[in-house]
Amino acid sequence: MRSKSAITIHRPEELSESQRRAWHRAMDESPDYANPFLAPEFASGVGRYRGGARVAVLHEDGEAVGFFPYERTAFGVGRAIGLGLSDCQALVHRPGVTWDTRELLRACGLSVFEFDHLVEEQKPFGPYVTGTFASPVLDLKPGEGDYAQWLRAAYPGLAKTTLKKERRLGRNVGEVRFVYDERDPRVLRTLMRWKSAQYRRTGRMDRFSKPWIVDLVEHLFQVREEHFTGILSVVYAGDRPVAAHFGPRSRTVFAAWFTAYDPEFSYYSPGLMMHLRMADAAGRDGVTLMDMGRGQKEYKDWLKTRELRVAEGFAVRPHPVAAAHRLWRRPVRGLRNTVLAHPRLRDPADRLLKTVGTLRTSGVAHSPGAGARAR
């Protein structure tokens, strides 16, 4: 007998306890969905500050078997929940569940659904993928012995330089110590100030200039559940924080998210120091995978053990708004990806952004005649 299927729409924070348990069960049953960005806690966090956040729940014979978190903007334009912040996106489902993408969009009241970090397993979205990209990950194994022993075994090429810089930092500033799960909210605010200054200095969009993102990060810092815990990690020299990271972890996956450091200590490579310390501590804490997120960075090439593939694209159903949205967004995406994929284009663009960031910081970019303000 054919199973009866249905789709219901909910605000993330209004999901029942049984629905949240079913969502967690779907995460546990597939390694593709173990990422904390796919947890209901992340969706409900975004939902607190984004009015258009919704979750479509797929039912078979009355049982919840799939969960599709998204944001609905004006005119039925949809996007992956937390687009621009989330490093992993998917319709989280039990094994064997499938769906018709156009029927899903119709049930959600969407003409188009935009994604940029979709897990590779999502076959029904396949016809709408416009590109796939490497997302470096680090497979973690519980270390034996102390941090220095783990570092020499895992990264012999980096160990000598890193340990030398840590010792020098300890002599010049104060004893180096690492806190994996720091609970002081003042340090979280310090991290956001550092990251905001870094965005401006390098000409990037300052995410922490948006109050809702600040509020979201502060909220997620307080979440401590089995499938989602906000982890703030800090490298101290004496009593002074020199580098910090905030990101979520699930039972088995730790997502590298916001890392920043005090520029005064840049000589000591505190960002790399932070990632190495986190990898060691997370492995000891039961994490088996550190997801470093899509994007080309030198430190990711040093640390990664392999790469996942994530997709971007636009799922659509016949609608004038969908056509207009694709005409507007796809060329922008294409140009950005072309620049990022070619070092001969990417490096000059990066230098230009840093120059603009320097001008902004000095106030020149705001003076008459300084030219158009970079976005």
Q: Which range is least confidently modeled, 10-24, 44-58, 250-264, 286-300?
A: 286-300
Q: Is 314 helix (H, G, I), strand (E, B) or coil?
A: strand
User: To which residue do tokens 């049953």 refer?
Assistant: 29
Query: What pLDDT is attached to residue 85?
Result: 96
213-222 long-range Cβ contacts below 8 angstroms, 24+ apart: 213/85, 215/48, 215/49, 216/45, 216/46, 216/48, 216/49, 216/85, 217/188, 217/192, 217/246, 217/258, 218/185, 218/188, 219/45, 219/48, 219/49, 220/41, 220/42, 220/45, 220/248, 221/185, 221/188, 221/246
Mean pLDDT, rounded, for 139-143: 83
More confident residue, 221 or 146: 221
Mean pLDDT, rounded, for 112-135: 95
What is the tens place of the pLDDT at every residue in 248-274? 999 999 999 999 999 999 999 999 999
| Mean pLDDT value across the chain | 87
pLDDT exceeds 90 at position 235: yes
DSSP state of 174: -
pLDDT classification of 318: cutoffs 50, 70, 90: confident
pLDDT exceeds 70 at position 331: no
What is the tens place of the pLDDT at every residue in 65-117? 999 999 998 888 999 999 999 999 999 999 999 999 999 999 999 999 999 99
Cβ-count burial of 158 within 10 angstroms (0-12 exposed, 13-18 middle, 19+ buried)? middle
What is the Cα–Cα distance from 246 to 260, expressed in whole angstroms? 9
Burial 333-366 (b: 16+ CB within 10 A, else e): beeeeeebeeeeeeeeebeeeeebbebbeeeebe
What is the Cα–Cα distance from 63 to 69, expressed in whole angstroms? 18
**Domains present along the chain, CATH in parentheses:** 6-134+309-318 (3.40.630), 141-287 (3.40.630.30)
pLDDT exceeds 60 at position 361: no
- In contact, 293 and 255? CB cutoff 8 Å: yes
Mean pLDDT, rounded, for 125-137: 95
pLDDT classification of 144: cutoffs 50, 70, 90: low
Write down how long the chain is.
375
Mean pLDDT, rounded, for 192-211: 96
Residues 62, 63, 65, 66: is their CA dihedral positive or negative? positive
Instruction: Give the Å distances, CA to CA, from 225 to 2, 41, 45, 138, 159.
Output: 37, 8, 13, 23, 34
Percent share of the chain, pLDDT over 70: 83
Q: Which range is least confidently modeled, 104-113, 281-290, 313-322?
A: 313-322
What is the tens place of the pLDDT at every residue in 173-191? 999 999 999 999 999 999 9
